Amino acid sequence: MQNTPSNRGLFIVFEGADGTGKSSQLRLLAQWLENSGYPVLMTREPSDGQHGRALREHFYSRKELSPEKELEMFLQDRRDHLENCIQPALAEGTLVLCDRYFLSTVAYQSLHGFSTEFLLKENEFAPAPDIAFILHAPLATCLRRITTDRGEKPNDFETRESLEKVDAIFHSLSFPWIRRIDSSGEMENIQQRLQKNLMPLLNDIKAPR
């Protein structure tokens, strides 16, 4: 039996270690969807709200925050982001593309010693996305993209050791809505794989006018 097309939008999440190219691929996918006639909202976490801005200010001086306080800020930012941005847009039939969500909190906050199980439980309030793309690329590729391509100095989350641990945690996560994407090749090929994985979900929502 075929699913009845829904008025609700789709919640599409991009996850992965820093340097995997997820932000670039998110923008390309958003452009493709917009060109196809779908209403699209691009957003990110930490969000542009009060708690998200505070977190971004602390990214390069993270020792000023205790691990417990940092986690609390991530969770509060997510609650506000869901209530004020993501859920209203989905209710209007918008396709929401989010750069990082709770899987990133699980992966990165694990570096502080929190267990995966504890972090997943702390995020039980957050609804699962319709699909989460976890991008993966070799560590050398990620570091090159961060330092050479983007011209950035790696923060605490972007050291070689941290990236290895984060990638391993992402690899260990298992949910039916996860799709793993090799992002080490040409951008066009990566984008085609993303679109192919998304097509079955697009068939279950109302076609754009």
Separation of CA 6 from chain center: 24
The H-assigned helical ranges of 152-186 are 160-172
pLDDT per residue as tens digits for the range 46-102: 999 999 999 988 876 666 789 999 999 999 999 999 999 999 999 999 999 999 999
Residue 138 lies in a domain: yes
Global pTM value:
0.89
**Residue 161: which pLDDT band, with cuts at 50, 70 and 90?**
confident
Cα 76 from Cα 127, distance rounded (Å): 15
Classify each residue of 16-33 as buried b or exposed e, where b means 16 or more C-beta atoms within 10 Å of its C-beta: bbbbbbbbbbbebbbebb
Residue 104 lies in a domain: yes
Owning domain of residue 191: 11-202
Cα 137 from Cα 116, distance rounded (Å): 22
Contacts of 189 (CB under 8 A, 6+ apart): none
Residues in the chain, overall count: 209
pLDDT per residue as tens digits for the range 36-56: 999 999 999 999 999 999 998
Residue 5 lies in a domain: no
Cβ atoms of 6 and 127 closer than 8 Å? no
Residue 163 lies in a domain: yes
Q: Give me the amino acid identity at 121.
A: K
Residue 2 lies in a domain: no
Cα 178 from Cα 156, distance rounded (Å): 26
Q: How many domains does the chain fold into?
A: 1
Query: What is the CATH number for 47?
Result: 3.40.50.300
Contacts of 69 (CB under 8 A, 6+ apart): none
Q: What integer pLDDT is reported at residue 135 of this predicted model?
A: 95
